[in-house]
Amino acid sequence: DGGITQSPKYLFRKEGQNVTLSCEQNLNHDAMYWYRQDPGQGLRLIYYSQIVNDFQKGDIAEGYSVSREKKESFPLTVTSAQKNPTAFYLCASTQTGENNEQFFGPGTRLTVL
């Protein structure tokens, strides 16, 4: 089955710790994205990558970092510099071209203790 997987489903972090969220896709999509979702707000873009070894900041990149060493993988690190990291994190991917539907993973809920 083709799809996007995210792990872990739930993650708890102590203040001052860095944590890394995993996102893997086997859809052979070129582009991958990380969004943050807070209650009552739309999805906000953190980072995106259109090709391996290249990525761009989204609207709320401060306190986050990413890498794109493989086409299938786009991990997100939430650093201690992120002041309010408790949220639902969603990874998405899309094939570049005319039809640009983004397909989403199941999400990771991060809670800072």
Residue 49 · residue 25 · CB < 8 Å: no
- Cβ at position 104, least distance to other proteins in Å: 4
Q: Which is nearer to other proteins, 14 or 84 (CB)?
A: 84
Q: Minimum distance from CB of 75 to other proteins (Å)?
A: 17
For residue 59, the minimal CB distance to other proteins (Å) is 9
Considering the complex, state which of residue 19 and residue 89 has its C-beta at the smaller distance from other proteins: 89
Which residues fall within 8 angstroms of residue 62, CB to CB, at 6 or more apart? Answer: 81, 82
Question: Rounded to an integer, what distance in angstroms lies between the CA atom of residue 72 and that of residue 42?
Answer: 26
The token pair that represents 82 in the structure block: 């992120």
Give the separation between CA 26 and CA 93, rounded to whole angstroms.
10
Nearer to other proteins, 57 or 81 (CB): 57
Contact residues for other proteins, defined by CB under 8 A: 4, 6, 31, 33, 35, 40-45, 48, 50, 58, 88, 90, 94, 96, 99-107, 109
Helices (H), 1-113: none
Closer CB to other proteins, 18 or 96, in the complex: 96
